């Protein structure tokens, strides 16, 4: 029986069009989802849109459209992003769908029945941009610590008794040391919880765009309680569906560092309060700046993923975002860095290795996998070193260390390119055809490893490369990375085609 694996992106606010920050989280999840499928897991990958709340209501008002039509339109752009980026998500949830509202109301009712929600009055600061409440003491120069403007809110409100869960949360983090990744973020969360939790306002009355509280329809549900529930409503909750039974608790909620607190504190507290299991892991990634600056509409430096795909290609975009910045850290995005890396690592290194090797075989090797003694060649260091690389790659991938995993694959390509120079098959063609065949075989066998290891990152380009290596469609997963499934001598190879053109962009 394959093991199940459930991974989610945050659901995106529909007040805005998709940008590179959204693409970043989604691509990371897609890479992970594809990696786990290729590792033999039955994967469920969820993404979607967060459509309620004051921020979305205001955005709709500003455009003079009613919020439902507005969210219908913007949500489509996020669905479009899944196609643009070739995401392999199994579902796309919108919080305005009935299935979601049912789930959110069911969770609310349980929290209320179990006595964890009570009616009171909220008086304090609220930042619409963050959809978050802030304490007076946390404000910096009259703004939220995130820089978002805050407003004073006084209204009747239901509260969730978060303060009661402080000890249970701390025990939970203690018992599950990997729950929050990376570790530096884990300490941040623990310190925050230790500093004392206040009960959380979970309903609003000063606007309308949200899920109505069944007991008191003047109130709409706080958008984060609504939104977090998507991870279970998409599985059919409150019904104990086969999907729910198979995939809850989630294996990974991938989030940006800005929304870690909601996922690592509020969400487990809601679930504990409802006697539901908590997710296994929250992975927080860093933030991208653009040419060294914060990305913002007012600066006018917002990067549209569509432009990157048009200029650099889809797989190049996916590769670059996972390769450039160690996952978990903040980092900078610039088109110049992208051009340099795509050219040096994809065009000049991997692309060139494939092109020169396959073109040479096509011309001088009968367009067939060379006829050699495979077992003997697996003793030579180029092939013998591959298994260790595969293991290292898998370790890194399991920890979401994508850039490190990619570095190992680049090393394989470096080794193979170095091998060509030393062995000089063009010279062997005149002196030692037998050795030439061996050299070419080791090169294309290395390419098979490279292509399979890069499949989660660049599914289209690597499928093309594997086609050019005549690797069966059903032999493109990690279990085939060994000698038993090595390329078979004498198999025909199609005419090679370039996979990664050099990019020249005028900046
Ligand atoms: N709707 C909430 C999430 C609810 S999940 C139950 C939300 N949406 S968002 O659209 O504002 O952000 C979604 C994701 O995009 C977050 O993980 C956030 O970190 C990420 N990014 C937005 N801008 C970013 C960068 N500049 N860099 C990297 N990721 C960033 O929050």
- Helix runs in 229-333, H state only: 230-233, 242-247, 260-261, 267-273, 305-312, 314-324
| Atom nearest to 259 CA in ligand 1 | 31
Per-residue pLDDT tens digits for 48-106: 999 999 999 999 999 999 999 999 999 999 999 999 999 999 999 999 999 999 999 99
pLDDT beyond 80 at 199: yes
Distance of CA 202 from the midpoint of ligand 1 (Å): 21
- Cβ 132 under 6 angstroms from ligand 1: no
* Nearest residue to 19 (alpha-carbon basis) of 77, 91, 88: 77
Going by alpha carbons, the residue nearest to atom 19 of ligand 1 is 256
pLDDT of residue 16: 84
Rounded mean pLDDT of 386-392? 98
Cβ neighbors of 476 (< 8 A, separation 6 or more) are 38, 452, 455, 463, 466
Distance of CA 227 from the midpoint of ligand 1 (Å): 13
Distance of CA 10 from the midpoint of ligand 1 (Å): 7
pLDDT of residue 2: 80
- Cβ 21 under 6 angstroms from ligand 1: yes
Distance of CA 253 from the midpoint of ligand 1 (Å): 12
pLDDT beyond 80 at 491: yes
Pocket test for ligand 1, best of 258, 267, 294 (most atoms within 8 A of CB): 258
- Cβ 235 under 6 angstroms from ligand 1: no
pLDDT of residue 45: 98
Rounded mean pLDDT of 279-287? 97
Distance of CA 92 from the midpoint of ligand 1 (Å): 16
pLDDT > 90 in the chain, percent: 97
- Cβ 287 under 6 angstroms from ligand 1: yes
Per-residue pLDDT tens digits for 117-145: 999 999 999 999 999 999 999 999 999 99
285 token code pair: 């990634």
Cβ atoms 446, 383 nearer than 8 A: yes
Cβ neighbors of 118 (< 8 A, separation 6 or more) are 158, 159, 161
Average pLDDT, the chain: 96
- Cβ 295 under 6 angstroms from ligand 1: yes
| Atom nearest to 254 CA in ligand 1 | 17
Query: What letter would DSSP give residue 49?
Result: E
* Nearest residue to 165 (alpha-carbon basis) of 111, 105, 233: 111
pLDDT of residue 298: 83
* Nearest residue to 445 (alpha-carbon basis) of 474, 470, 418: 470
- Cβ 234 under 6 angstroms from ligand 1: no
Going by alpha carbons, the residue nearest to atom 14 of ligand 1 is 22
Q: Are strands 282-285 and 288-290 parallel, antiparallel or unpaired?
A: unpaired
- Cβ 227 under 6 angstroms from ligand 1: yes
Distance of CA 252 from the midpoint of ligand 1 (Å): 16
Per-residue pLDDT tens digits for 225-272: 999 999 999 999 999 999 999 999 999 999 999 999 999 999 999 999
Distance of CA 95 from the midpoint of ligand 1 (Å): 16
Distance of CA 256 from the midpoint of ligand 1 (Å): 6
Per-residue pLDDT tens digits for 11-40: 999 988 899 999 999 999 999 999 999 999
- Cβ 25 under 6 angstroms from ligand 1: yes
Confidence grade of residue 506 (pLDDT, cut at 50, 70, 90) = low
Going by alpha carbons, the residue nearest to atom 21 of ligand 1 is 21
Question: Considering the domain 4-286, what is its CATH architecture?
Answer: 3-Layer(aba) Sandwich (3.40)
pLDDT of residue 504: 86
Boundaries of every domain in the chain: 4-286, 334-485
Query: What letter would DSSP give residue 137?
Result: G
* d(C-alpha 319, C-alpha 187), whole Å: 30
| Atom nearest to 295 CA in ligand 1 | 26
Main-chain phi, psi angles of 200, to 5 degrees: -110, 130
Confidence grade of residue 507 (pLDDT, cut at 50, 70, 90) = low
* d(C-alpha 408, C-alpha 218), whole Å: 57
Going by alpha carbons, the residue nearest to atom 9 of ligand 1 is 12
Distance of CA 231 from the midpoint of ligand 1 (Å): 16
Rounded mean pLDDT of 181-187? 93
- Cβ 233 under 6 angstroms from ligand 1: no
Cβ atoms 361, 367 nearer than 8 A: yes
**CATH number of the structural domain 334-485:** 1.10.730.10
- Cβ 29 under 6 angstroms from ligand 1: no
Going by alpha carbons, the residue nearest to atom 25 of ligand 1 is 21
Cβ atoms 461, 326 nearer than 8 A: no
178 token code pair: 């990997």
* Nearest residue to 404 (alpha-carbon basis) of 480, 468, 322: 322
| Atom nearest to 286 CA in ligand 1 | 28
* d(C-alpha 2, C-alpha 260), whole Å: 30
Cβ atoms 180, 284 nearer than 8 A: yes
pLDDT beyond 90 at 297: no
Pocket test for ligand 1, best of 22, 26, 78, 127 (most atoms within 8 A of CB): 22
* d(C-alpha 31, C-alpha 318), whole Å: 9
C-alpha dist (Å) from residue 175 to 169, 178, 252, 326, 469: 10, 9, 17, 27, 47
pLDDT beyond 90 at 353: yes
Q: ω before 280 within 30° of 0 (cis)? A: no
């Amino acid at each position: 029986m394959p093991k199940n694996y459930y991974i989610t992106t945050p659901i995106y606010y529909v007040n805005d069009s998709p940008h590179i920050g959204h693409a970043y989280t989604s691509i990371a999840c897609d890479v992970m989802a594809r990696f786990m499928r290729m590792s033999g897991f039955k994967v469920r990958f969820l993404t979607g849109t967060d459509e309620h709340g004051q921020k979305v209501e205001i955005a709709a008002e500003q455009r003079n459209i009613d919020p439902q039509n507005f969210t219908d339109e913007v949500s489509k752009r996020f669905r479009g992003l899944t196609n643009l980026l070739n995401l392999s998500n199994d579902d796309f949830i919108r919080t305005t769908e009935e299935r979601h509202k049912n789930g959110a109301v069911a969770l609310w009712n349980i929290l209320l029945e179990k006595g964890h929600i009570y009616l009171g009055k909220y008086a304090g600061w609220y930042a619409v941009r963050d959809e978050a409440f802030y304490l007076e003491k946390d404000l910096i120069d009259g703004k939220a610590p995130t820089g978002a403007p805050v407003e004073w809110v006084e209204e009747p409100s239901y509260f969730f008794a978060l303060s009661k869960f402080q000890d249970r949360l701390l025990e939970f983090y203690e018992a599950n040391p990997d729950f929050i990744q990376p570790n530096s973020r884990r300490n941040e969360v623990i310190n925050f919880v230790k500093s004392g939790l206040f009960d959380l306002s979970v309903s609003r009355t000063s606007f309308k765009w949200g899920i109505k509280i069944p007991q008191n329809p003047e109130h709409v549900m706080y958008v984060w309680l609504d939104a977090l529930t998507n991870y279970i409503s998409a599985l059919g909750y409150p019904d104990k569906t086969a999907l729910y039974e198979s995939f809850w608790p989630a294996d990974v909620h991938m989030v940006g560092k800005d929304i870690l607190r909601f996922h690592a504190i509020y969400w487990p507290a809601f679930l504990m309060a409802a006697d539901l299991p908590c997710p296994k892991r929250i992975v927080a990634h860093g933030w991208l700046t653009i040419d060294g600056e914060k990305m913002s509409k007012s600066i006018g430096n917002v990067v549209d993923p569509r432009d990157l795909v048009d200029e650099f290609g889809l797989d190049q975009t996916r590769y670059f975002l996972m390769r450039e910045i160690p996952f978990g850290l903040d980092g900078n995005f610039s088109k110049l860095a992208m051009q340099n890396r795509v050219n040096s690592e994809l065009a000049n290194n991997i692309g060139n290795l494939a092109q020169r090797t396959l073109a040479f075989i096509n011309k001088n090797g009968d367009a067939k996998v060379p006829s050699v003694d495979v077992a003997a060649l697996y003793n030579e260091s180029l092939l013998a070193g591959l298994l260790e690389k595969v293991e290292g790659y898998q370790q890194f991938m399991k920890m979401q260390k994508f850039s490190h995993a990619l570095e190992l694959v680049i090393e394989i390509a470096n080794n193979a390119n170095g091998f060509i120079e030393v062995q000089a098959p063009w010279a062997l063609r005149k002196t030692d055809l037998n050795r030439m065949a061996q050299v070419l075989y080791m090169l294309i066998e290395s390419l098979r490893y490279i292509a399979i290891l890069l499949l989660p990152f660049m599914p289209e380009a690597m499928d093309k490369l594997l086609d050019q290596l005549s690797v069966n469609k059903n032999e493109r997963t990690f279990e085939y990375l060994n000698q038993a499934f090595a390329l078979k001598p004498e198999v025909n190879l199609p005419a090679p085609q370039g996979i990664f053109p050099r990019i020249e962009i005028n900046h």
